[in-house]
Amino acid sequence: MKLILMSLVSALMATTALAMPKVGDVVNYNFTISQQGQNTNGTVKQTITTFVNGMYNVETTYEANGQTQVQNNQRKPENMIDDATINAVLSNCAAYNGKLETVTVPAGTFNTCSIPNNENNQKGDIWFGAVPFGVVKMISTNANGRQTYMELTSFQFGK
């Protein structure tokens, strides 16, 4: 379980926060992790809870197999994806080795840029769109064959 949650932490940390960022930004995802015929299903929720002393606090809650894990991370504004960044990605998708796609997930239908993700022994794609934290969908496979699928189920912009 801990390994599964750490995989999701890595994926979300690598793609972190967008859509403004503002206190109150919230995203919810469903995920499925598959390996050797075994599936683990769960949820991930990310919330920007505060902005204090020039730092955002991002609370991430993972739930899977009846277990909950909560992490709080402090992030500098320059380490958060903002509106300008997401607009640049969507406007210049090909420059990021991506392709523009319309994607439908439980949270709705979004114009996205699908970008290959080949970092940290992961291969797959991340669909970026104009939502808090920027990630609409993610599919990846690691070197051990573990597949991760994550999709946005709901979101709320902060005020």
Question: Domain segments of the chain: what residues?
Answer: 2-156
Sign of CA dihedral 130, 157, 75, 2: negative
Helices then strands, each counted (H, E), the chain:
2, 9
69 forms beta bridges with: 62
pLDDT at 56: 96
The token duo for 61 is: 């809650």
pLDDT at 159: 83
pLDDT tens for residues 147-158?
999 999 999 999
2 pLDDT tier (thresholds 50, 70, 90): very low
pLDDT at 72: 97
Whether the CB-CB separation of 53 and 159 falls below 8 Å is answered with no
Q: Is the pLDDT of residue 26 over 90?
A: yes
pLDDT tens for residues 33-72?
999 889 999 999 999 999 999 999 999 999 999 999 999 9
pLDDT at 121: 82
Give the integer Cα–Cα distance in Å for 82 and 19: 5
pLDDT at 58: 97
Its pTM stands at: 0.84
